[in-house]
A and B are shown apart, each in its own frame.
Chain A
Amino acid sequence: MNRPSMAVSRAIARVADSALAPYQTAVLRIGFGLTWLLFLLREYPHRQELYGPDSPWSWDLAAQLVGSNDAFTVLLWSDSQVWFEAVYALAVLFSLLLLLGWRTRTMAALFMVGVLTLQNRSVFMGDGGDNVLHIMAVYLVFTRCGQVWSLDARRARRAEQARARGERTRDRVGPALWAVLGLVLLLGSLAGRTDGDWFIPALLWAVWLGQAVWWLAGRLARTDQPRILLDVVANVVHNGALLVIMAEACLIYATAGWYKVQGSRWQDGTAVHYPLHLEYFSPWPSLAELLTASGTLVMLVTYVTVVVQVAFPFTLFNRRVKNVLLSFMILEHAVIAVVLGLPFFSLAMIAADAVFLPTSFLRRTGRLAARARERLRPRGEAAPVPPRRRPDGAPAGPPAVAPAEAAPVTGRVPGPRT
């Protein structure tokens, strides 16, 4: 075989045989889940004013706007107080469960429903952070983001061990969850509640049907071919979504950067001074004063900000430069969180940045976290837990150290170089 065709088939095998970047997608899952969870908890006292039926942006106003733009929101299914409280509580629950990686694909879909529902109910309450979450919540549904650092991965590992011991395991929760959600989806559709834009309802149906097909392929099929095909399709979709997420992050930086290049304040080096002196973005006025005391410093930060944003997408071709810029941007977002009073926007951006973190770094962090957890756990408590041992006899590690073989489905996920 000639070279080019070899390269092509290798590339195809790469995107079809495994869901790439298991650690990075896990961090995305944890990061966005955490951001939304913290946001919902922080806004809990203000939830009525933000999204409640009697909020200033009242149910009626929202219904008129959504009637004209067809955005997806289950909050308009009813204007009752009970429905609102239930939806808010469920949105909190789903983000927690997504963060933990419990029934990850299902939770990713439900997380998306929660994010879209609340944000589309009151679009004028949101800012850039909400925008990032909105889009990434949709993309996450397409990924296999529970391969590592998740309860799913732990469950898969335990099932594997049980099987090695010759025990039979059976999952009852999964089918039950599937049945309940199918019922809700069906009722919603029959009641005409999903008659707006077709995309989100179609996506939910696709996830639901996909799970059924996957299950059937494992149960009924005489060969393992259908299941392997589904696995390949899921990998391809995951890798496609991963590419979209990375490109989206680049688009965010490129847009932010290239539009700044045209701005006179970014050119004369004073831009950073202004946001820090806006009433709405200066929680710590004296800190802002201190940071903008030196004209030279402000000019440097202004220029570096633009340069980094414009340059970032191009640095992806060089691992070392990319990592330097990445740490700079994460640092800058951490500063923005405090200085401009935008913690949730910054957290969402840091989560998005994390898709570019190197695997070696993530695994090292995971090992540290695992060790810290081991140390925190009191001696006595470890006893009742059944001895978790890997087949190779290595001491059982908590999910964090689970090497790629913990991947629930593919079984052999290469650690991609990022």
Chain B
Amino acid sequence: MDAQDKGSDARHGPAEPGVPGPRAPLPGPVPPADGPSGPEPATPPEDERAAGAEEPPRDPSDEPRTGVAALSLRYRIGAALALAVVAVAVCVHLGMTFLHVAPPNTVSKKHSETIADWIYPEFEQNWKLFAPNPLQQNVSVQVRAEIRTPDGGSRTTGWYDLSAQDGRDIDGNPAPSHTQQNELRRAWDFYLSTHDDDNRPVGLRGALSESYLRRIMVMRLDRADAAGRDGEVARVQVRSRTTQVPPPSWSGEKVSDKAVYRVLPWWLLPEDEARGGIG
């Protein structure tokens, strides 16, 4: 079962507070990228041949024209050097990657900063696919809005179940879009991972996740035409409704079928968002 669920959610998650901001360029190790690596461009192959045809530089003896055996001692030293650099880079990279994906352990805790420096931002990864346990809850993210009407009054809409909407869009869809499958789900996880239980944001990411979630709500309320013809969304409120996935009928296991809610405070919309202009 490799669908990623928990896994992906954590992508760029771990980068959160622990990860240093601007990375000081490490002088030392370079992943296989290093110096002499890049060659063999898409371009040259026949250049080489063309060149060979024009000015035949090779000696007519039966020596092989490629490979280490065809190199003189000086060049062989260069090749040996390249081999050593690549070998070291490969070993270090694999070691770092291993420590990054392995559970926190003696070594990885001791060198956590070095590992983070090597891995982030481009080699971050999480392969706990449906592990250690698959998610066993359906989390529905819902929203309601306070609409300002032109006559100065206001009204509050009912709850829109946006996850249910996503679910309907995914039903019978052979290739669900990331906007249906990941957008709201991961935005909600992002919010949870950057807020404490009293909905107070933690760090820069907390603030970012709030703006992000709010903008998704505004976009989707706009699509549902929640504000009506000449109304304007003034505030939004988000809540989640969590229910247990019923255990298989043959297991005889029982879980509570009561939904658990988490209700966030009302959020005031900035002027530009109130007028709608997202997505």
Known pairs A126-B178, A274-B135; list 8 more (Cβ under 8 Å).
A46-B178, A50-B178, A104-B42, A225-B75, A228-B70, A233-B36, A256-B131, A409-B66
Q: Are B122 and A199 in contact (CB under 8 A)?
A: yes
The B107-157 residues at the A interface (CB cut-off 8 A) are 120-136, 138, 140
Question: Which of B45, B130, B135, B176 interacts with A156 by CB under 8 Å?
Answer: B45
Given A197-B121, A274-B135, A274-B136, residue A256 in contact with residue B127 (CB < 8 A): yes
Q: Are A259 and B131 in contact (CB under 8 A)?
A: yes
Q: Determine if A317 is an interface residue (Cβ-Cβ < 8 Å).
A: no
Q: How far is the CB of B71 from chain A (nearest CB, A)?
A: 6
Interface residues on B, range: 35 or more
Q: How far is the CB of A94 from chain B (nearest CB, A)?
A: 12
Q: How far is the CB of B269 from chain A (nearest CB, A)?
A: 13
Question: Which of B66, B123, B128 interacts with A256 by CB under 8 Å?
Answer: B128
Q: Are A295 and B57 in contact (CB under 8 A)?
A: no
Q: Are B54 and A168 in contact (CB under 8 A)?
A: yes
Question: Which of A49, A106, A128 interacts with B41 by CB under 8 Å?
Answer: A106
Taken together as a complex, chains A and B put the C-alpha atoms of A173 and B47 apart, in Å, by 11
Q: In the complex, identify which listed stretch (A211-219, A362-370, A397-405) lies at the interface while the others stay far away.
A: A211-219
Q: Are B181 and A280 in contact (CB under 8 A)?
A: yes
- Provide the residues of chain B in CB contact with A232, threshold 8 Å: 66-68, 71, 79, 82
Question: Which of A123, A255, A278, A345 interacts with B128 by CB under 8 Å?
Answer: A255
Taken together as a complex, chains A and B put the C-alpha atoms of A223 and B58 apart, in Å, by 7
Q: Determine if A416 is an interface residue (Cβ-Cβ < 8 Å).
A: no
Q: Are B68 and A17 in contact (CB under 8 A)?
A: yes
From B139, which residue of chain A is reached at the shortest CB distance? A279
- Provide the residues of chain B in CB contact with A18, threshold 8 Å: 67
Q: Determine if B215 is an interface residue (Cβ-Cβ < 8 Å).
A: yes
The B25-78 residues at the A interface (CB cut-off 8 A) are 25, 30-54, 57-58, 65-72, 75, 78
Taken together as a complex, chains A and B put the C-alpha atoms of A333 and B1 apart, in Å, by 8
Question: Which of B176, B179, B278 interacts with A54 by CB under 8 Å?
Answer: B278
- Provide the residues of chain A in CB contact with B187, threshold 8 Å: 56, 124
Taken together as a complex, chains A and B put the C-alpha atoms of A340 and B175 apart, in Å, by 10
The A364-385 residues at the B interface (CB cut-off 8 A) are none
Question: Which of A16, A72, A125, A213 interacts with B39 by CB under 8 Å?
Answer: A213
- A149-184 to B contact mask, C-beta < 8 Å, 1/0: 000100110011001000011110111011000000
Question: Which of A131, A223, A266, A305 interacts with B126 by CB under 8 Å?
Answer: A131
From B24, which residue of chain A is reached at the shortest CB distance? A198
Taken together as a complex, chains A and B put the C-alpha atoms of A270 and B136 apart, in Å, by 11
Q: Are B208 and A237 in contact (CB under 8 A)?
A: no
- Provide the residues of chain B in CB contact with A202, threshold 8 Å: 30, 33
Q: Determine if B173 is an interface residue (Cβ-Cβ < 8 Å).
A: yes
Given A171-B46, A211-B38, A283-B170, residue A342 in contact with residue B3 (CB < 8 A): yes
- Provide the residues of chain B in CB contact with A163, threshold 8 Å: 49-50, 53
Q: In the complex, identify which listed stretch (A62-70, A78-86, A319-327) lies at the interface while the others stay far away.
A: A62-70
Taken together as a complex, chains A and B put the C-alpha atoms of A343 and B176 apart, in Å, by 8
Given A69-B19, A168-B54, A273-B248, residue A409 in contact with residue B40 (CB < 8 A): yes
Q: How far is the CB of A32 from chain B (nearest CB, A)?
A: 15
Q: How far is the CB of B45 from chain A (nearest CB, A)?
A: 4
Given A16-B67, A211-B43, residue A273 in contact with residue B5 (CB < 8 A): no
Q: Kindly list the 9 A-B residue pairs having the minimum CB-CB distance in the complex, ordered from nearest.
A: A128-B4, A210-B38, A174-B43, A103-B42, A211-B41, A17-B67, A408-B45, A263-B132, A159-B46
Q: How far is the CB of B4 from chain A (nearest CB, A)?
A: 3
Q: Are B130 and A56 in contact (CB under 8 A)?
A: no
Q: Are A219 and B51 in contact (CB under 8 A)?
A: yes
Q: Are A160 and B49 in contact (CB under 8 A)?
A: yes
Q: Are B2 and A336 in contact (CB under 8 A)?
A: yes
- Provide the residues of chain A in CB contact with B19, threshold 8 Å: 69
Q: How far is the CB of A57 from chain B (nearest CB, A)?
A: 6
Q: Are A214 and B135 in contact (CB under 8 A)?
A: no
Given A228-B71, A336-B1, residue A206 in contact with residue B33 (CB < 8 A): yes
Q: Are B185 and A280 in contact (CB under 8 A)?
A: yes
Given A43-B177, A255-B128, residue A106 in contact with residue B43 (CB < 8 A): yes
Q: In the complex, identify which listed stretch (A20-28, A186-194, A240-248, A387-395) lies at the interface while the others stay far away.
A: A240-248
- Provide the residues of chain B in CB contact with A95, threshold 8 Å: none
Given A197-B122, A251-B101, residue A224 in contact with residue B75 (CB < 8 A): no
From A341, which residue of chain B is reached at the shortest CB distance? B176
- B86-103 to A contact mask, C-beta < 8 Å, 1/0: 110110011001100110
Given A50-B179, A256-B131, residue A70 in contact with residue B2 (CB < 8 A): no
Q: How far is the CB of B212 from chain A (nearest CB, A)?
A: 6
Q: Determine if A351 is an interface residue (Cβ-Cβ < 8 Å).
A: no
Taken together as a complex, chains A and B put the C-alpha atoms of A152 and B34 apart, in Å, by 25
Given A142-B32, A222-B57, residue A16 in contact with residue B37 (CB < 8 A): no
Q: Determine if A236 is an interface residue (Cβ-Cβ < 8 Å).
A: yes
Q: Are A124 and B190 in contact (CB under 8 A)?
A: yes
Q: Determine if A89 is an interface residue (Cβ-Cβ < 8 Å).
A: no
Q: Determine if B23 is an interface residue (Cβ-Cβ < 8 Å).
A: yes
Taken together as a complex, chains A and B put the C-alpha atoms of A12 and B71 apart, in Å, by 14
Q: How far is the CB of B265 from chain A (nearest CB, A)?
A: 20
- Provide the residues of chain B in CB contact with A302, threshold 8 Å: 1
Q: Are B8 and A259 in contact (CB under 8 A)?
A: no
Q: Are B43 and A270 in contact (CB under 8 A)?
A: no
The A70-120 residues at the B interface (CB cut-off 8 A) are 70-72, 102-107, 116, 120
Q: Determine if A338 is an interface residue (Cβ-Cβ < 8 Å).
A: yes
- B1-25 to A contact mask, C-beta < 8 Å, 1/0: 1111101100110010001011101
Q: Determine if A42 is an interface residue (Cβ-Cβ < 8 Å).
A: yes
- B184-227 to A contact mask, C-beta < 8 Å, 1/0: 01110010000000000000110010011001100100000000
Q: Determine if A15 is an interface residue (Cβ-Cβ < 8 Å).
A: yes
Q: Are B25 and A105 in contact (CB under 8 A)?
A: no
Given A120-B121, A210-B41, A228-B65, residue A259 in contact with residue B47 (CB < 8 A): no
